[in-house]
């Protein structure tokens, strides 16, 4: 058995010491792009080269995790965004990057194309994605705030110019009855791996309060009523039911509300009732409704 093993080892040593021509595949990297340019698409990532060397060196090269690097300073320009390498111009550089004793014979491709775009920057608003459920009787005091509410993005013109908004990860909150402030991740659009952001997160905040209802009986005005028409409404006032933060309840008064009815709307639509329209003159009011939502009238001739 020992003789057999020794024979195999001697055979392997003799075989690996011989010279061979072989094809090796290497990961391909690129360096020294112009500062105002970025890759718009993923370039060729592997390349085959034909080499001549001993079996030992070829085996060692196959087991290596070495990359071949092409220097972008030797790029040629084909169009405004398309550039290319002539691999024959990289021959000396590739030879220097191979294992000692490995002789480069040929590079499998004669041309490698790269899609480069001009580097630009612009400010883009952030779009929140919210699922917030409030505890019964509670609500947000004003709209949620974001800090920042927009970010600066930089990248190839072809990827940047069509981006109008940047989405955020879902913020989901349940049974909310107090103020909140959460860091939320900013999501890059698909197929835009070369875009850089000046921030990866934004903070979403909201003031939460207990809300209550209040009511006022408000007189209304009838607009666009011809002088020769004597109109009698069956209601002289309407009831405005409003929702306001409990802390602001005592600040609300009737002057916050103005109610008008446009006679022309009833006339043009052949209605025998008026439609009250409420204008709210304060940001304290969260929402409101009117009772009744139509006012019957009679015309006396």
Q: pLDDT 10s per residue in the chain (301 long)?
A: 554 454 444 444 455 456 778 888 888 888 887 777 777 777 888 888 887 877 677 777 777 778 888 888 777 878 777 888 888 888 888 888 888 777 878 888 888 888 887 778 889 999 999 999 999 999 998 889 999 999 998 887 777 888 899 999 999 999 999 999 999 999 987 766 677 888 899 999 999 999 999 999 999 999 998 888 888 888 889 999 999 999 999 999 999 999 999 999 988 998 889 999 999 999 899 999 999 999 998 887 6
Could you give the CA distance from residue 264 to residue 267 in angstroms, rounded to a whole number? 5
Domain 212-300, CATH class in plain words: mainly beta
- Which tokens hold the place of 287? 């929402």
H-run or E-run covering 71 = strand 68-71
pLDDT of residue 78: 82
DSSP states of 112-157 as a string? EEEEEEEEEEEEEEEEEEEEEEEPTTEEESS--EEESSEEEEEEEH
Longest C-alpha distance within the chain, in Å?
130
Entry field: residues in the chain: 301
Instruction: Give the neighbor-by-neighbor strand order of the sheet with 145-147.
Output: 145-147, 201-206, 180-185
CATH of the domain spanning 119-206: 2.170.120.40
Cis peptide before 29 (omega within 30 of 0): no
pLDDT of residue 9: 45
165: phi then psi, degrees, rounded to nearest 5: -140, 160
Nearest residue to 50 via CA among 74, 14, 24, 73: 24
Could you give the CA distance from residue 187 to residue 240 in angstroms, rounded to a whole number? 43
pLDDT of residue 58: 73
């Amino acid at each position: 058995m020992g003789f057999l093993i020794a024979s195999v080892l001697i055979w392997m040593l003799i075989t690996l010491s011989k010279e061979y021509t072989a094809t090796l595949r290497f990961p391909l990297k690129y360096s020294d792009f112009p500062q105002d340019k970025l890759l718009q698409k993923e370039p060729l990532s592997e390349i085959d080269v034909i080499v001549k060397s001993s079996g030992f060196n070829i085996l060692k090269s196959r087991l290596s995790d070495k990359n071949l690097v092409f220097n972008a300073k030797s790029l040629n320009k084909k169009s405004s965004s398309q550039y290319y390498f002539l691999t024959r111009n990289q021959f000396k550089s590739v030879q220097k990057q191979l294992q000692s004793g490995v002789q480069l014979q040929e590079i499998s491709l004669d041309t490698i194309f790269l899609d480069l775009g001009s580097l630009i920057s612009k400010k883009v608003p952030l779009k929140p994605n919210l699922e917030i459920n409030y505890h019964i009787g509670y609500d947000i005091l004003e709209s949620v705030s974001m800090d920042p509410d927009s970010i600066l993005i930089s990248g190839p013109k072809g990827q940047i110019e069509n981006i109008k908004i940047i989405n955020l990860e879902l913020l989901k909150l349940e049974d909310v009855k107090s103020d909140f402030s959460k860091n939320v991740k900013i999501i890059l659009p698909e197929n835009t791996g070369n875009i850089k952001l000046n921030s990866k997160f934004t903070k979403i905040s909201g003031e939460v309060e207990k809300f209550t209802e209040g009511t006022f009986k408000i007189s209304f005005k009838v607009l666009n009523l011809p002088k020769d028409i004597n109109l009698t409404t069956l209601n002289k006032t309407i009831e405005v039911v409003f929702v306001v933060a409990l802390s602001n309840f005592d600040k609300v008064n009737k002057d916050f509300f103005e109610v008008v009815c446009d006679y022309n709307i009833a006339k043009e639509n052949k209605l025998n009732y008026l439609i009250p329209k409420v204008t709210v003159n304060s940001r304290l009011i969260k929402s409101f409704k009117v009772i009744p939502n139509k006012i019957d009238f009679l015309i006396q001739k």
